[in-house]
Amino acid sequence: MAMESAVLSQSLVKWCLAGALMTAGLSQAQAREIVVHMKNNGAEGAMVFEPSFIKAAVGDTIKFMPTDKTHNAETIATMLPDGAAPAVGKINETLVVKVDKPGLWGFKCKPHYTMGMVALVQVGAKPANLAAARAAKLPPIAQKRMTAMLAKVK
Ligand SMILES: [Cu+2]
């Protein structure tokens, strides 16, 4: 008898857990995963993130893929929303960043930062850190590409 009720309560726990997991799965399914390739050559030139300008919603995930070798992805410290945690990917490895704060998130590839390898993720509308992002000092080629991306922010 005691055995049976233990088994019963165990299966009840499993059933409840399954329900909770399904609910979590459903809410995750609404968040998008956006893939960004790290490439030696792309439509916008040499050493690029593709796409380089991304519009996302809070809770989306950006997945930086090492499509070509010798790249990494990491946040630019002066181009991050308030409260956003910096992220640093390793060379030749995928970096997954959940953009959990609204605003502009700047990314760079460390080895090719001076060659202009940068990306911009706009999370939500009317980013609060637009002025700060525009004021950020980047290496000249990166600055040029970033200025073009910042012009797309709406
Ligand atoms: Cu690179």
Asked whether residue 25 falls in the same domain as residue 89, the answer is: no
**Residue 2 clears pLDDT 90, i.e. is over it:** no
Sign of the torsion formed by the C-alpha atoms of 143, 149, 152 and 154: negative
Q: How far apart are the C-alpha atoms of 140 and 68, rounded to whole Å?
A: 24
The larger pLDDT score, comparing residue 20 to residue 69, is at 69
- Sheet-wide strand order for 95-98: 45-50, 33-42, 61-65, 95-98
pLDDT (tens digit, 9 = 90+) per residue, 31-50?
999 999 999 999 999 999 99
Q: Are residues 25 and 37 in the same domain?
A: no
Output the domain CATH number for residue 53: 2.60.40.420
Burial letters 83-119, b for 16+ CB under 10 A, else e? ebeebebeeeeebebebebbbbbbbbbeebbebbbbb
pLDDT at position 15 is 53
Q: How far is the CA of 7 from the centre of ligand 1 (A)?
A: 55
Number of domains in the chain: 2
pLDDT of res. 30? 84
Q: Are 65 and 89 within one domain? A: yes
Gap from CA of 45 to ligand 1 centroid (Å): 12
Indicate whether 62 and 120 sit together in one domain. Answer: yes
Q: Could you tell me the distance, in angstroms and rounded to a whole number, from the CA of residue 89 to the centre of ligand 1?
A: 11
* Structural domain boundaries, residue 24: 1-30
**88 alpha carbon – ligand 1 mean position (Å):** 13
Average pLDDT over residues 76-101: 98
Check pLDDT > 70 for residue 22: no
pTM, full prediction: 0.81
